[in-house]
Amino acid sequence: MLFQVRMDVHIPADLPAEVANDIKAREKAYSQELQRSGKWRHIWRVAGEYANYSIFDVDSNEELHQLLTGLPLFPHMRIAVTPLCRHPSSVRDGDA
């Protein structure tokens, strides 16, 4: 199951820099592990914003929920999820 996920990050201005940097480092490691596993297929920065568009390939809504709520930055994010399915005009056979 494919999902487009938009993540908007809002770190409180009064969060100490060392705490914020630790969260960001853990977020990067978590994200890169999921990208290598194939669960997190794509991540793109939204130009000019502290936000990304990502594509997840997971087995269930529940799995997506678990992955997203496990993000170290989750407490500081607004997340919007859009379910995707194959477009009948797609020429990309690899896209389920």
Binding site for ligand LWBT4IAB (CB under 6 A): 7, 9, 27-28, 31, 52, 73
Considering the complex, what minimum distance in angstroms separates the CB of residue 72 from ligand LWBT4IAB?
9
Q: Which is nearer to ligand LWBT4IAB, 18 or 93 (CB)?
A: 18
Sheet holding 2-9, edge to edge: 40-45, 51-57, 2-9, 77-84
Helix (H) or strand (E) holding 37: helix 17-37
- Of 19 and 86, CB closest to ligand LWBT4IAB: 19
